[in-house]
Amino acid sequence: MSNERPRPSEFGTDEAAPPVDEKPYKIIFEANKCFGAGRCAEASTNWELDLQTGVANPQTYFLDESDVDENIRAAELCPAKKGDGVIHIIDRREDREIAPDPHGDGSLSVDW
């Protein structure tokens, strides 16, 4: 088993994904670790808190420049995983995590 972290662009992208130049950012969301604090929904119109399940849901997983800042804020405010968050914003052009980036090196901070 390798201790090497996976590349951020390896997850959540398939034939249905929009072109990188159209939507250069994507969200990787660890829904199984969301405990429904709702901070993401306060920060971004892309996020809704489902009151029945107690889990947040993004309206879209692929973002352009006009949507990225509020989603970065949602990722940074997420208190799950002891403050490391469960919303990950990936720059598909640079193949790095830009938020929350707890490692400080752009590597993917997903716990799967």
Q: What is the pLDDT of residues 86-103, one digit of tens each?
A: 999 999 999 999 999 998
Residues in the chain: 112
Mean pLDDT score, 38-56:
94
CATH fold of 29-99, please?
A: Alpha-Beta Plaits (3.30.70)
pLDDT score of 2: 52
pLDDT score of 111: 84
Rounded Cα–Cα distance for residues 16 and 37 (Å): 31
Cα separations in angstroms, 56 against 14, 35, 106? 23, 8, 24
Rounded Cα–Cα distance for residues 54 and 36 (Å): 5
Ordered by start, the domain boundaries in the chain are: 29-99
